[in-house]
Chains A and B, each alone.
Chain A
Amino acid sequence: MKKVKVAFFDFTSCEGCQIELTNLGETVFMGLLDHIEFVEFREAMSERATAIDIAFIEGSFSRESDRKRLEDIRRRAAVVVAYGSCAAIGGINALKNHQSDYGEFVYGPAARMPHLASEAVKPIADIIKVDYTIYGCPVSKAEFVRVVSDLLHGKTPTIPNYAVCVECKMRETVCRYAVGDHCLGVVARAGCGAPCPADGVPCEACRGFIDDPNLPSLEKGLREKGGLPADRAATKTRMWTAIYRSEA
């Protein structure tokens, strides 16, 4: 059987989701290589490809000059997967979307130089058609391998649409609210295995929200149960989920 041609691309991001591939280890990585062939992956290889079966795109859209490169990838690839939260939902990059002075703040008067142009961050699905989405900051390695396996078997990958709370209950993690902390897990999209509350920090919804999250109720809970002052409760969801606040 011919190996499936896979490529990786990166836009505005930290490239950490690609680094997760090197963390798969010998057994899983070499196992993948039995079924897929990397044909383009700038961070790891110099080769370039004309035809791609599955393109994984990491990073958000943050400047007009990247549109052509995205469209070119779409033309070459049969299937496009938004890989990680920057590509899927704008991710942490969208935390600047509610600000207007970020350019001057960082670069001073030089911010107006054309090469420093940047605009409101968007998920790549706003620019090109995306066939599948893998959430997470970083992506879950297990979920990535499962999605690849599904695609190779002609199966539609399913991504959880229930809250991180479910996964905390399954692994018997004590609720952050029960120890005097706050948490976004009540409306955050699961699938990560809920590592953050288990490590003693709140879930900040790096995979985005479940469909139809009740945000007014979340804000009320952050205030009344989580003890956050009103301004923090109101802006807590700017971190990974600014896109859900109509700020982009």
Chain B
Amino acid sequence: MAKNIHIDVHHVTRVEGHGNIVVNVTNGAVETCEWRVPEAPRFFEAMVRGRHYTEVARIVSRICGICSVGHSLASVKATEDALGIPVSEQAKNLRRLAKHAENIDSHVVHVLFLVAPDLLGVPSVFPLVPTHGDVVRRALRLKRFGHEFGSALCGRTTHPTRIVPGGFAELPTIDELKELRRRIDADLMPDLVAILGVVASLADKFPVFNRPTEYIALHSDEEYGLYDGDVQSVLPDGTKQIYKVADYRSCTNEYVDPRSTAKYARNKLASYLVGALARFNNNYDQLHPEARKLADGLGLKGLCFNPYLNSAVQVVEIVHSVQESIRILDELIADGIREEEPGKPTKFGAGSSAVEVPRGILFHHYDYDQNFMCLGGDCIIPTNQNHANIQRDFEKLVPEMLAANKDEKQMELGLEMLVRAYDPCISCSTHYLDVRFVR
């Protein structure tokens, strides 16, 4: 059936940062179908030039208010690589724990505050206060717990104070860790179990849309990759390939697109996806059994090609991170916390890192001179890697929605929900790159 559709969503709501959707269909023919990123560019890679290595993580943390723990960790890891700074096993364990805290914290915001309103047919979480007050209260308590959990380790969750090159500037006390462990059982679990019930009841509300693509995530032989590991790609046929972190540019291949202040990325296919779904598709076998059980219950198994289900996979990851947090906390409590000073530089030069932040794999790279002053940086943000994949999804989804006779409003909502499913962090994604290093 020939029809005309005009969608012009200026600044998609309930996402971090600014993105636009433009679709024009005339007489059934798609003329325009674009995901545009007009976010103000911010130039962090240039701003770190001339800063001392101890300052860099606190500057780039400000790339993102939601995943600033992840940015801080990526930054200190790249600096440690560049300057040969040793990090103790205790500090690495605390950082792994901080990653789990951030994943729980961020996924709770995305699934419960940003995505759930679509599944319940309301424009935001606020109309749910009178109708679903109990769920909103539980969501607020879970968010607060994630914040307090991360703060106990990192000082703060929005722009952490304690994460420094070489370890931590201040360590949690054993009593603080014991209190966290107690509160996981006493406070977190009852709210989480109740929320999982709500999610299960909404599982059939996720739109059905499949577009197999390439999925890139961190992979470690020791654990479901979050804090450390190699870069791994998996194709729709299950073929996997590993890349060293130092060679990250050989799989990100960024390019400038006039629709976007953020750069786009591609590897083996026209685009690739990063985030919870990419981690799930790469590392399903390493999820905690409780998380795999939930995934089975939600009908999720690898490889999953429906990007809308990224939000459902985030819920699976919450369960994984809670279980792993319990394990790491028990270990730390049994071993005791040893007071230690952060490690110091032993060389200078360039270094790279990769960390999984809630929205996907994040790369940082810096170059330092002999006085440990930064010569330049390179940060490749998850959302930045997803922009091209969102565009490709649009190009497949719009004709499918037309064929299914969706009207303009339904199509607009479907496209907005797709963007939200990626949990984009757009203000992070607008500064990247072609960095030249001045020696």
Which residues on A sit within 8 Å (CB–CB) of B435? 105-106
* A1-33 vs B, Cβ < 8 Å mask (1 yes, 0 no): 000000000111111111110111110011001
Please determine whether A106 and B64 come into contact, CB atoms closer than 8 angstroms: no
- Once the chains are docked, how many angstroms separate the CA of A92 from the CA of B51? 13
* Distance in angstroms between the alpha carbons of A107 and B43 in the assembled complex: 9
A contacts with B, residue count (CB < 8 A): 62
Interface assignment of B14: CB less than 8 Å from any CB of chain A? yes
Q: Smallest CB–CB gap between A84 and chain B, Å?
A: 9
Q: Does B109 sit at the interface, judged by CB under 8 A?
A: yes
For the complex, is B164 an interface residue (Cβ under 8 Å from A)?
Answer: yes
Given that A17-B65, A102-B47, A195-B155 are known contacts, is A44 also in contact with B164, CB under 8 Å in the complex? no
Binary contact track A154-193/B, C-beta < 8 Å → 1, others 0: 0000000000000000000000000000000000000000
* A46 touching B140 in the complex, CB below 8 Å, given contacts A38-B126, A66-B40, A116-B41: no
Once A99-B46, A106-B46 are accepted as A-B contacts, the answer to whether A15 and B161 lie under 8 Å apart by CB is no
A-B Cβ contacts below 8 A, count: 188
CB distance B258 to A113 under 8 Å? yes
**A92 near B62 (CB under 8 angstroms)?**
yes
- Closest beta carbon of chain B to A110's beta carbon, Å: 4
Find out whether the CB atom of B16 lies under 8 angstroms from the CB atom of A43: yes
B117 — which chain A residues lie within 8 A by C-beta?
45-46
Across the interface, do B126 and A45 meet the contact criterion of CB distance under 8 Å? yes
CB-CB under 8 A for A138 and B158, given A12-B42, A15-B66? yes
Q: A106, B114: Cβ atoms under 8 Å?
A: no
Known contacts A23-B144, A118-B40, A239-B55; A199 and B123 CB within 8 A of each other: no
| CB neighbors of A among B41-80 (8 A) | 41-43, 45-47, 49-52, 55, 58-59, 62-66, 68
Query: Is residue A96 within 8 Å, beta carbon to beta carbon, of the partner chain?
Result: yes
The verdict on A195 contacting B156 (CB below 8 Å), with A96-B47, A118-B43, A138-B65 known, is yes
CA distance A101 to B376 in the complex (A): 12
Contact A20 B43 (CB under 8 A): no
User: Which B residues lie within 8 Å of A11 (CB)?
Assistant: 40
From residue 17 to 44 of chain B, which have CB atoms closer than 8 A to chain A? Answer: 17-18, 38, 40-43
A93 touches B256 (CB 8 A): no
Interface stretch of the complex, out of B201-209, B220-228, B383-391, B426-434: B426-434
Q: Which of A26, A101, A232 contacts B140 (CB 8 A)?
A: A26
**Cβ of B406 < 8 Å from any Cβ of A?**
no
The smallest C-beta distance from B228 to any residue of chain A, in angstroms, reads 24
Whether A110 contacts B256 in the complex (CB less than 8 A), given A23-B147, A33-B129, A45-B13, comes out as yes
Whether the Cβ atoms of B50 and A19 lie closer than 8 Å is no
State whether A16 and B124 are in contact (beta carbons under 8 Å apart), knowing that A22-B109, A62-B40 are contacts in the complex: no
Return the CB mask of A40-80 against B: 1 if under 8 Å, else 0.
01111111000000000001001100100000000000000
Using Cβ atoms and an 8 Å threshold, which residues of chain B touch A198? 170
Question: For residue A33, which residue of chain B has the nearest CB?
Answer: B129
A200 within 8 A of B: yes
Q: Tell me the count of chain B residues lying within 8 A, CB to CB, of chain A.
A: 68
CB distance from A224 to the nearest CB of B (A): 18
The answer for the CA separation of A148 and B41 in the assembled complex, in Å, is 31
B40–A63 CB distance below 8 A = yes
Set of chain B residues within 8 Å of A25, measured between Cβ atoms: 140-141, 143-144, 147
How close is B282's CB to chain A, nearest CB, in angstroms? 28
In the complex, what's the smallest C-beta–C-beta distance from A201 to chain B, in angstroms? 5
Q: Which of A20, A26, A102 contacts B158 (CB 8 A)?
A: A20
How far is B15's CA from A46's CA once the two chains are assembled, in angstroms?
Answer: 10
What are the residues of chain B within 8 A of A99 when measuring CB–CB?
46-47, 49
- Contacting pair A138 B159 (CB below 8 A): yes
> In the complex, which residues of chain A have a beta carbon less than 8 angstroms from the beta carbon of B162?
199-201
A16 lies within 8 A of B65 (CB): yes
Minimum CB–CB distance from A5 to chain B (whole Å) comes to 12
CA distance A107 to B263 in the complex (A): 9
Residue ID in chain B nearest A38 by CB atoms: B126
When C-beta atoms are compared, the residue in chain A nearest to B431 turns out to be A106
Q: Which of B58, B143, B263 contacts A22 (CB 8 A)?
A: B143
Contact residues of B between 104 and 124, Cβ < 8 Å to A: 109, 113-114, 117, 123-124
A63 contacts across to B, CB distance below 8 A: 40
Given A20-B158, A99-B46, A115-B38, A13:B14 Cβ within 8 A: no
Q: How far is the CA of A191 from the CA of B112 in the complex (A)?
A: 32
Q: Which residue of B lies closest to A102 (CB)?
A: B46
Hey, what's the 0/1 contact readout for B163-185 against A, CB within 8 Å counting as 1? 01000011000000000000000
A23 touching B157 by the CB < 8 A rule? yes
Interface check A108, CB cutoff 8 A: yes
Inter-subunit contact B140/A29 (CB<8 Å): yes
Cβ–Cβ < 8 Å partners of B129 in chain A: 30, 33
The residue among B11, B65, B137, B143 with the most chain A CB atoms within 10 A of its own CB is B65
Smallest CB-CB A-B distances: 7 pairs: A16-B65, A45-B124, A200-B169, A25-B144, A108-B434, A102-B46, A46-B123
Q: Can you list 30 A-B pairs with a CB-CB distance of less than 8 A?
A: A10-B18, A11-B40, A14-B62, A14-B68, A16-B159, A17-B158, A22-B113, A25-B140, A25-B141, A25-B144, A26-B141, A41-B124, A43-B16, A44-B113, A44-B124, A45-B126, A59-B40, A95-B47, A102-B47, A105-B45, A105-B49, A105-B436, A106-B43, A106-B431, A107-B41, A108-B433, A108-B436, A115-B38, A199-B162, A200-B164
Binding site for A on B (CB under 8 A): 11, 13-18, 38, 40-43, 45-47, 49-52, 55, 58-59, 62-66, 68, 109, 113-114, 117, 123-126, 129, 137, 140-141, 143-144, 147, 155-159, 161-162, 164, 169-170, 256, 258, 260-261, 263, 371, 376, 427-428, 431-436
